[in-house]
Chains A and B, each alone.
Chain A
């Protein structure tokens, strides 16, 4: 395992970035009181100091506490929505790609049309319709409502090539039925690809959730990363020179996206050995 990581620097860097975040959250959880992430728990607009390492915002949140509480919330939304998206996408992709026929036409049509539509706008309509404050988990479900489109499309095209492979043919001739072939022959061979798709889906879900939050449609009570950026924008923190307010969330979001990006590049290399000699 370690030896493989050495050969696959992208994967190592990606896991490293996310590891830094996990350590940050874990250490932070010991050091802070989650109550400090609420407004009015610290003096307002305090630049970074020993007492408040990331400073405080205008409503008196300790930003260090807000980051420690908020980062896992943002990651949770991403993982719930991403996993739901890939599971639903995989099921639909196999139903469509393996059994073909009219179901395939329908599923492919919906996915193709859905992908040309700007997802954020649909999510906005949904989020505005379920007003009365979303919780973090509801937010994940809202994001998941569109998260299956891309996995469906990409996995289906993989299924189409797999079902023509020799070993699938052999399995079919030896009397295995459809679900058996799917579970015992095709899915094991798709696992690395499904992994890369999952990381992509998580990244897209986090992006969508941060987008909704920056627009002010997220869970207003929870100090998610996007919500912090909403207040940054709301209070024009950049023009006012309160650099510490946006520095922390931006660095964390950068770590999340770059980490996930390097992980997909690394996983792609496992899923598609032909890439290994390029670059």
Chain B
């Protein structure tokens, strides 16, 4: 087994009285695209700052390429950062910006210019070499920041909400380009975002963070389909959540009492255990076709989303229970309708936290 490229061991961090990271351990594989996903205040940006060397953790250690980098300053570690505000040097040309890292390494001007042009070509901005940053659009500045960070061939590229300042259309476009560039250069990218769509689109490895802890990590498909915790079930995509208690357990099947009635599903929990059942919107069936009946519900809202309709419904059994379903765009369901709700037992995600 090869050593991980980045090994974060039991890192905790406090800002004054506030603990922002609580015993976080994480390993990053070479060539992977890792997304740190979480709401603001989840500690994801602090973790990135610790990786970049801008913050020294209160506890724990950080190894990069097997070397202890815990208190190595940013200038001396094999990481570079793409800042959220791009942080381009406003008084330098784009070419000088991109060549800055090489200049600090003592590379001569001709080689520097050649490499800077190459890096700019990689991000599709070959023509901007002589321009000043203020002459570029937001998306272009973003690419310059990326080229500037990549040109010195870091072991790990850190991206702090790199697409946060762009409008939606540009964001989706840059997202595709980021992925393509990462595949081309093969450098490990660690990217912080609070946008779960961005996370699912980009990540090889998705790390869901909340309140200073890692809630869940793995391939985004797995994190989406089988979230480990209730938080990741609600943060990474939407879910209908059914609170319940295990009432019976035998032969690998448990029975859970929920506001929508008793539900049987595979599991090995003890009776009395508190659980939450999550159902993804695309798995919730409007009608009685699913194997598990969830009672009737009154449709409270139908939002047309283009390729589908997002349907919100309130359970007739318990008004506190809200269903979220994804119906085909052609569905005729309307606000005020009363519909049966069901799902398949296989699609229910059992959460035990």
A, B in one complex: no
CB within 8 Å of A: which residues of B? Answer: none
A residues bordering B, Cβ < 8 Å? none
